[in-house]
Structure 1
Amino acid sequence: MKTILSILVVLSVVGCASTSSLQRPDSYYAGKYQAESEGSTDLFGTGELLSDADIERILSYKLTLPKLNRVAILKLSEDSYWRYYSNDFTELSDSITTNFVQALVASPKIYDASFLPSMLVPEKRTVPYLREAAARYQADLLLVYRSSCNSYQKYRFLAANETKAYCNVEAALLDVRKGIVPFTSVATNSYLLVKNTDDTNFNETKKKAELEAIAVSLGEVADALVLFLAGMD
């Protein structure tokens, strides 16, 4: 399989920003009500709207995870046709996915990270339906993410054959047992790329730059999640 560097002629990765959830300090829970003491109590109640008591119970709840977890992954944004445009794009897309999963299973608290089977993905992608789908997959956690990109050619320092992609990855972690979202992360990266002689057209160059920026952002999200889980002892 070709490596990413052999597929692309890279100028540079420029600029990045990421923001992720922090652990609550233990002092936050001092004197707080713990819903877990009530066993199977539903944190979110049974009505359509949360009562004040429901909200208090949710905010006061301290999430604990099993020592080992299966993480189901669901991409909410759609794949473009570029994935199947050529063998290079297929390899690049597969490489991004593989690296993302490998970064997640580097956590000693994750024994398996795999994509939620498409046949289980509900039409209504709301928390209750997603939670049920993940439970059927026997996943302890559900990691949902989506990516978005913008590419620019008209930029002060860009030549005619250069493109700059800005890509954003948003992710949220759902605890399947309780429906709590303990972790979120947003990572943004830009990627500067020059058109390769092997590129059929400039649109192909633009898409490659976007995929590279997404790859970097996904890596940052995975690293942030691994660090977050390490703090949940």
Structure 2
Amino acid sequence: MTKYLIVITMLLVTGCTSVATANRPNDYYRPSSSDTDSEPLFGSTGGSLADSDIERILNYRLKLPKQNRIAILRLSSQSYWRNYSNDFTQLNESISQNFIGQLRESSRVYDASFLPSMLVPEQRTVPYLREAAARYQADLLLAYRSNCRTFEKYKFIDPNETKAYCSVEVVLLDVRSGIVPFTVVSSNEFSARKELGDKNFSETIKKAEMAAVAKSLNDSAYQLNLFLANTGTL
């Protein structure tokens, strides 16, 4: 399984760039700010928030347990390539395992696993997703989606070569409070050339895209681990 990722990674030509949330400085909070308020930050009515509620949300100081369970939810749709061949199935599984393994390297994470599909609500709004994660006893919900675009210009230069841009957007939800304390967008630009083993050029493109997504996911997990390391403890 590992050999496939090694081969595909060789197709990448540029490094990964990321823009991630920074931890709030300690002097941001006012002395009167309370992190033990039992009143919920977000009401259940779904109406507009009052100014006082917004003030409480902005002054909320995030603290997490020493160790946390992260429930993972992929928001982008699964393409048919997942079941295209055994190689692609192994690639998808390898990408997921490497991403989870990177998250579990954090001393603040005792478990990282996908939110069971049976619990994923049809309405993927924050309140419903928060409830689903709570049922799974997850402290944090990590939702992500990937997006890739191919530059058509390069097909005219060489029909067997492509250049594309892939990005992964990650959002972290604190299940207890409903706060979104962390986001990261990680991007890769890559090029690929059709190999003899590829049945068609679409397969070449998809393999390169998967490699770019895998790299972006791992970088996002690294950025999240840095954030968790600097987050207060309950």
Measured against the shorter chain, the TM-score band is over 0.9
Aligned-partner SS, 1:123: coil
AA at the equivalent of 2:42:
F
- 2:141 & 2:228 partners in 1: Cα distance? 14
Contact 2:2 2:94 in 1 (8 A): no
Deviation at 1:130, TM superposition (A): 0.2
Which whole-Å CA distance do the structure 2 matches of 1:180 and 1:68 have between them?
Answer: 18
- Do 1:153 and 1:160's aligned partners in 2 also have CA atoms closer than 8 Å? no
User: Cα distance, 1:32 vs. partner?
Assistant: 4.1
1:160 matched to 2:164? The reply is no
Deviates more, 1:4-13 or 1:77-86: 4-13
Query: Which residue does the alignment assign to 1:127?
Result: 126
Q: Does 1:173 align with 2:172?
A: yes
Q: CA RMSD in A?
A: 1.8
What are the within-5 Å matches in structure 2 for residues 1-233 of structure 1? 1=1, 3-5=3-5, 7-8=7-8, 10-34=10-34, 36-38=35-37, 40-47=38-45, 48-155=47-154, 159-233=158-232
Structure 2, unpaired ranges of 5+ = none
Q: How far off is 1:7 after superposition?
A: 5.0
1:91-129 CA distance string (max 9 Å, x none):
111111010000000000000000000000000000000
**Identity over the aligned pairs, expressed in percent?**
58
Structure 2: distance between partners of 1:173 and 1:230: 15
Unaligned runs of 5+ in 1: none
**Per-residue deviation at 1:185?**
0.3
Post-superposition offset of 1:11: 3.9
* Matched letter for residue 10 of structure 2: V
Residues 148-189 of structure 1: CA distance to partner in whole angstroms, max 9, x if unpaired? Answer: 101235339963311222111001100000000000000110
| Structure 1 pair 211–5 and aligned structure 2 pair: CA distance change class (3 A) | closer
Q: Matched residues in 2 for 1:6 and 1:26: separation?
A: 42
Which range moved further: 174-183 or 11-20?
11-20
Q: How many residues align?
A: 231
Change (3 A) 1:202 1:212: same
Separation of aligned partners in 2, 1:2 and 1:107? 22
Q: Distance in 2 between matches of 1:21 and 1:205?
A: 34
Distance 1:5 1:44, change over 3 A: closer
Deviations 1:181-221 (A, max 9, x none): 00000011012211111111001001111101101111110
1:53 maps to a residue whose letter is S
Q: Spell out, residue by residue over 1:8-47, the C-alpha distance to the aligned partner (whole angstroms, 9 max, x if none).
A: 483433143210000000000132421x333x21011344
TM-score by length of 2: 0.93
- Shift of the alpha carbon at 1:5? 4.8
